Amino acid sequence: MAKTNAGRFFEDYALGQVLTHAVPRTVSGGERALYHMLYPARHALYSSDAFAQASGLSASPLDDLAAFHIVFGKTVPDVSLNAVANLGYGEGRFLKPVYPGDTLRSVSEVIGLKQNSNGKSGVVYVRTKGLNQRDETVLEYVRWVMVRKANPDAPAPETVIPDLAKTVPAADLVIPEGLDFTGYDFDLAGELHRWGDYEVGEIIDHVDGVTIEEAEHMQATRLWQNTAKVHFDATFRPDGQRLIYGGHVISMARTLSFNGLANAQMVVGLNAGAHANPCFSGDTVKCWSEVLDKAETAAPGVGAIRLRLVATKDGSVGELKGENGKYLPGVLLDLDYWALMPL
Amino acid sequence: MAKTNAGRFFEDYALGQVLTHAVPRTVSGGERALYHMLYPARHALYSSDAFAQASGLSASPLDDLAAFHIVFGKTVPDVSLNAVANLGYGEGRFLKPVYPGDTLRSVSEVIGLKQNSNGKSGVVYVRTKGLNQRDETVLEYVRWVMVRKANPDAPAPETVIPDLAKTVPAADLVIPEGLDFTGYDFDLAGELHRWGDYEVGEIIDHVDGVTIEEAEHMQATRLWQNTAKVHFDATFRPDGQRLIYGGHVISMARTLSFNGLANAQMVVGLNAGAHANPCFSGDTVKCWSEVLDKAETAAPGVGAIRLRLVATKDGSVGELKGENGKYLPGVLLDLDYWALMPL
Amino acid sequence: MAKTNAGRFFEDYALGQVLTHAVPRTVSGGERALYHMLYPARHALYSSDAFAQASGLSASPLDDLAAFHIVFGKTVPDVSLNAVANLGYGEGRFLKPVYPGDTLRSVSEVIGLKQNSNGKSGVVYVRTKGLNQRDETVLEYVRWVMVRKANPDAPAPETVIPDLAKTVPAADLVIPEGLDFTGYDFDLAGELHRWGDYEVGEIIDHVDGVTIEEAEHMQATRLWQNTAKVHFDATFRPDGQRLIYGGHVISMARTLSFNGLANAQMVVGLNAGAHANPCFSGDTVKCWSEVLDKAETAAPGVGAIRLRLVATKDGSVGELKGENGKYLPGVLLDLDYWALMPL
């Protein structure tokens, strides 16, 4: 009996299947410090206990995207070890802040399947939940990936494509209990722009850039216990390059967007996401944002802002797709998310 | 009076000499997070407080090898600063888990000396103990190194070669107090293979690989306060290469072996170890294991498994030595250890 | 309205202006572990709670220079984003140890201004304070930088050059409350040399060296939330090189100086500092120290020692400036500081 995990192939998935992902993880101040070392993270709520407490939280939580990466990393051995491509994200919501001392684990359910017409692969849709040690769901999202078949003759499953919301409705966003921005300190946060200062359609060039190194993207990916060979083993791809984990680009872009969006403090919704082109060591990641929508919330002083975050490797701003409808070659990431901002 | 430490030379050691190594170290969640960033560490007992508590421990301990590196690092200025070669390890036992908040220090005793026939160097055998803040020994091992003489005319000491056990007898392994695997959650641990599923002689190809970067091996080595110049200073060796700390290869291989040995949770014995060939930045480390022995323990649900762990830089599996009895050039590490596994 | 921070230009500063720097930061054991990973840090007081407690402190504090970098990093967006050169430091004092759990923020006051004769730039002097969550000043220092004008026609301010002490008088050094070195354990600290063993004028070659990698200096700089583009973005400078944050060289040299100055435990004063030449990835940093002064303190068993710490990239020792009075090309850093040492 082979002892190593060969991963699941397309024919190994069935609708309604529940995947209990392995290796629960307890986070500490160490993970928080590392997030600040790996990314130019400066959002005050994730940096300072005092700032978080003045905003009604018990302490500074782990960055929402760090929690996302931990939950996501656990799914890799069961979902994407034999993936040809990570096709998209949707219906993501952050439901509870994660604090040092919390232990996270992940569970996924297969909610859609569609074999490709070539018969060699298919698309698997999973809804993943991250749970803490009290079995509370801290975040959830849908992800769909293209997965190879091991046996091309395996019969195609019934095609089921889940009916996913294009965006998470503002009314469905969950605001952390107690969050209150009425006493928000804009000086300490780093910028004076409040929710009312942003207009739908506005584009923000975040100006700063980071050139990526092999050691850094491997460390970031490993920290989340994501073990896909393609990120670590230079002998795995014929070109000898290590593909950078898409989540590394997400966190790099989100933290770079501080410069212009310092007050977009908490990520509460993930509407859509596409890794437009692969990223490799040596690329210089820059980013820009577009304000897509705005909404009020029930929490005191707290507004929601829907943002498109675009990471590039060519420093372009405002350009996304070519005439053929495809992403331009300089675009790395196109992410659509909701954040919370002081009114 | 020169203020810098020139290190000890062969003639500076005497049988029975006790070396009190410097720089005690308090560990926190930070060291645990870093171990997960530097290595693809996924053994659940070291990742999750909840998993460790369900196994009868008070919390998730620091990885045993991280504790080993901390204890080992302290010995470098006194034992191996002038070492020509690190010849071997033996009689290693892990006696107490190390938890965040513990402070470690190291003490060694010289237990053997043998001048080489060339008169220019000799072999020094030390038994090293790592102690916590309660003066409890958390781990111990024997190590022997070849050390240069500063003065070739210094008289040779009486030759004393310690009588070392080839392996730590299973009966001498110390099982952490309270450890109980009867309620072990194989799904959360990541693999279903239990102690009974492994057969002596079985060989496991761990499949995954990591290409090593200068920044990463230096950071790992520095974290353990191991300051041997050869790991950090590219001007030190004539070829401009930085030699990678052998312990970095040990931890890389042990964590890569998760894939196939996810349930080999705790390292409790170190029978033997040899760094077969040097490792440099750019090498891709892969590994394979061979089951050498199995034994029962007195702890509920807990079996012991003796494993040979071989790290390679050429991806070979199952091959160790050539016809001349020497390690093949692609082999980096040959480690013989005991781990604890659920029955 | 542009949302990104363009930084302040010379004409934006006014004498007496108070700058409240953004992004407070709570530190944990994570930051301490990272300091040990990024630098060869071995001073026992910063490594071991037990050692610190035996010296009269409540626990092992965060390394003084780590606290300095955190405070300094916050000033970058307001002080040096448009800096042409970082000209000097002075009147630095460390007033309170920083412990895990503390939250740091920074405030600066403009204490001097002098437009350059070319009318295109000027020198800004700021006194910066780092404060903890109890509004206690943990450290303070003066720094002066040359900053560009955005509008060359902006009128020159009245020239005010602050009258700075050439060195912090020993009597003004603040010894941490309770510090007591009468029971100092020299074996655990790593060297036997005490305060009385050092002579003014003595030069110490610290022997060890570290070759710098891009990933490491970026991580260190990012950890302190210093976001100056020039350190991270390889497309920013015409030569494609990333300039290494001067503070990275300071910490590298200070920690390398352990070998010969293991008992220079706490940094309490920063008299002067100059970044003599830029440092880039691939440089091998070595260092030497000169004993400049010695003083007694009121604390039991505690002496103060004033040291010149010189970092080089060519391994030279004892040489600082050429006949023209300029720093030699191999010199990276010339730092003048006070440390505390057991008598």
Q: How far apart are CA A272 and CA B343, in angstroms?
A: 45
Nearest chain A alpha carbon to B288? A4
Interface test with A, best of B213, B217, B221, B222 (most A CBs within 10 A): B213
Q: Are A289 and A261 in contact (CB under 8 A)?
A: yes
Using CB atoms within 10 Å of the CB of residue A118, give its burial: 0 to 12 exposed, 13 to 18 middle, 19+ buried: exposed
Q: Which residues of B236-253 are buried (b: 16+ CB within 10 A; e: fewer)?
A: beeeeebbbbbbbbbbbb
pLDDT, one tens digit per residue, over C115-171 is 999 999 999 999 999 999 999 999 999 999 999 999 999 999 999 999 999 999 999
Neighbours, chain B (3 or more CB pairs < 8 A): A, C
Q: What is the mean pLDDT of residues B164-190?
A: 97
Nearest chain B alpha carbon to C258? B4
pLDDT band at B12 (very low <50, low <70, confident <90, very high): very high
* Non-local CB neighbours of A29 within 8 Å, separated by 6+ positions: A100, B28, B29, B30, C28, C29, C30, C31, C100
Which chain B positions have a beta carbon within 8 Å of A220's beta carbon?
37
pLDDT, one tens digit per residue, over C58-94 is 999 999 999 999 999 999 999 988 888 888 999 999 9
Percentage of chain B modeled with pLDDT above 70: 100
Count of other CB atoms within 10 angstroms of residue C120? 12
pLDDT, one tens digit per residue, over C296-327 is 999 999 999 999 999 999 999 999 999 999 99
Contact A34 C29 (CB under 8 A): no
CA B58 to chain centre: 24
Give the minimum alpha-carbon distance from C150 to chain A in angstroms, rounded to a whole number.
18
DSSP E strands, chain A: 18-20, 25-26, 83-94, 103-115, 121-131, 137-148, 203-205, 210-211, 266-275, 284-296, 302-312, 331-342
pLDDT, one tens digit per residue, over B238-263 is 999 999 999 999 999 999 999 999 99
Q: How far apart are CA B19 and CA A160, in angstroms?
A: 69
From chain B residues 61-120, the ones with a CB under 8 A of any chain A CB are 100
Strands C302-312 and C266-275: unpaired
Going by C-alpha positions, the residue among B178, B194, B195 that lies closest to residue B186 is: B194
DSSP string for A20-34: E----EE--HHHHHH
Q: How far apart are CA C182 and CA C164, in angstroms?
A: 35
- Taking the Cβ of residue A31 and every Cβ of chain C, the question of whether any pair is shorter than 8 Å is answered with yes
Cα→Cα distances A311→A141, A144, A247, A258, B199, Å: 21, 21, 12, 13, 50
- Taking the Cβ of residue B36 and every Cβ of chain C, the question of whether any pair is shorter than 8 Å is answered with no
- Taking the Cβ of residue C211 and every Cβ of chain A, the question of whether any pair is shorter than 8 Å is answered with no
Strands A83-94 and A266-275: antiparallel
Q: Is residue B1's pLDDT more than 90? A: no
Q: Are C60 and C51 in contact (CB under 8 A)?
A: yes
Q: Are C30 and B29 in contact (CB under 8 A)?
A: yes
- Direct distance between the N- and C-terminal alpha carbons of chain B, in angstroms, rounded to an integer: 60
Give the minimum alpha-carbon distance from C184 to chain A in angstroms, rounded to a whole number.
30
Contact B210 A227 (CB under 8 A): no
Interface test with A, best of C4, C27, C31, C227 (most A CBs within 10 A): C4
Contact C260 B31 (CB under 8 A): no
pLDDT band at B82 (very low <50, low <70, confident <90, very high): confident
DSSP string for A70-89: HHHHHHHHHHTTTEEEEEEE
Q: How far apart are CA C342 and CA C54, in angstroms?
A: 13
Helix H, strand E, coil C: the string for C89-142 is: EEEEEECCCCCCCCEEEEEEEEEEEEECCCCCEEEEEEEEEEECCCCCEEEEEE
- Taking the Cβ of residue A206 and every Cβ of chain C, the question of whether any pair is shorter than 8 Å is answered with yes
What DSSP element (H or E) covers C332?
A: strand C331-342
Which chain B positions have a beta carbon within 8 Å of A221's beta carbon?
none
| Residue B189 token pair | 């641990």
pTM of the model: 0.97
The pLDDT, as a whole number, for residue C149 is 95
- Taking the Cβ of residue A50 and every Cβ of chain B, the question of whether any pair is shorter than 8 Å is answered with no
Going by C-alpha positions, the residue among C314, C268, C333, C274 that lies closest to residue C295 is: C268
Give the minimum alpha-carbon distance from A337 to chain C in angstroms, rounded to a whole number.
19
Q: What are phi and psi of B124, to 5 degrees?
A: -115, 130
Q: Is residue C2's pLDDT more than 90? A: no
Q: What is the mean pLDDT of residues B312-323?
A: 97
CA dihedral A227, A231, A236, A241 (to 10 degrees): -170
Q: How far apart are CA C292 and CA C200, in angstroms?
A: 5
| Residue C136 token pair | 């206690």
**Secondary structure of residue A57 in the 3-state scheme:** coil
Q: How far apart are CA B250 and CA B275, in angstroms?
A: 9
Contact C40 B77 (CB under 8 A): no
Contact C3 A260 (CB under 8 A): yes
Q: How far apart are CA B175 and CA A189, in angstroms?
A: 50
- Taking the Cβ of residue C234 and every Cβ of chain A, the question of whether any pair is shorter than 8 Å is answered with yes
How many contacts (CB atoms, under 8 Å) link B and C?
138
Q: Of B20, B26, B242, which has the smallest distance from its Cβ to C48's Cβ?
A: B26
Mutual orientation of helices B29-38 and A29-38 as an angle, nearest 10°? Answer: 50
- Taking the Cβ of residue C18 and every Cβ of chain A, the question of whether any pair is shorter than 8 Å is answered with no
- Taking the Cβ of residue B39 and every Cβ of chain A, the question of whether any pair is shorter than 8 Å is answered with yes
pLDDT, one tens digit per residue, over C4-45 is 988 899 999 999 999 999 999 999 999 999 999 999 999 999
- Taking the Cβ of residue C215 and every Cβ of chain A, the question of whether any pair is shorter than 8 Å is answered with yes
Alpha helices (H) along A257-314? 258-261
Q: Are C49 and C59 in contact (CB under 8 A)?
A: yes
Contact C187 B22 (CB under 8 A): yes
Q: Is residue C1's pLDDT more than 60? A: no
- Could you list the mean pLDDT of each consecutive 10-residue stretch along chain A, which spans 343 residues? 86 97 97 97 98 98 98 95 88 98 98 96 97 98 96 96 97 98 97 97 97 97 93 94 96 98 98 96 98 98 98 97 96 98 98
Which chain B positions have a beta carbon within 8 Å of A77's beta carbon?
190
Q: How far apart are CA B46 and CA B339, in angstroms?
A: 14
* Non-local CB neighbours of B169 within 8 Å, separated by 6+ positions: none
Q: Which residue has the higher pLDDT, B45 or A7?
A: B45
Q: Are B89 and B77 in contact (CB under 8 A)?
A: no
Contact B284 A235 (CB under 8 A): yes
Cα→Cα distances B328→A127, B32, B84, B287, B331, Å: 48, 34, 21, 14, 6
Which chain C positions have a beta carbon within 8 Å of A51's beta carbon?
24, 103
| Residue C120 token pair | 């295109």
- Taking the Cβ of residue B263 and every Cβ of chain A, the question of whether any pair is shorter than 8 Å is answered with no
Going by C-alpha positions, the residue among B329, B325, B226, B326 that lies closest to residue B280 is: B329
What DSSP element (H or E) covers A3?
A: none
Using CB atoms within 10 Å of the CB of residue B150, give its burial: 0 to 12 exposed, 13 to 18 middle, 19+ buried: middle
Count of other CB atoms within 10 angstroms of residue C325? 6
Q: What angle do CA B217, B220, B222 make, to 5 degrees?
A: 105
Q: How far apart are CA B208 and CA B312, in angstroms?
A: 12
Contact B213 C216 (CB under 8 A): no
Q: Are A94 and A104 in contact (CB under 8 A)?
A: no
Q: How far apart are CA B301 and CA B281, in angstroms?
A: 41
Q: How far apart are CA B213 and CA B227, in angstroms?
A: 18
pLDDT band at B81 (very low <50, low <70, confident <90, very high): confident
Strands A302-312 and A210-211: unpaired
CA C241 to chain centre: 23
Please compute, for residue C277, the number of CA atoms within 13 A of its CA located in the half-sphere on the CB side: 18
Contact A42 C227 (CB under 8 A): yes
DSSP E strands, C179-245: 203-205, 210-211
Give the minimum alpha-carbon distance from C5 to chain A in angstroms, rounded to a whole number.
6
Q: Which residue has the higher pLDDT, B30 or C2?
A: B30
**C327 strand-pairing partners:** C321
DSSP tag of B288 = E
Q: What angle do CA B264, B270, B272 make, to 5 degrees?
A: 120
Could you report the predicted ipTM of this complex, rounded to two decimals?
0.95
Q: How far apart are CA C266 and CA B187, in angstroms?
A: 49
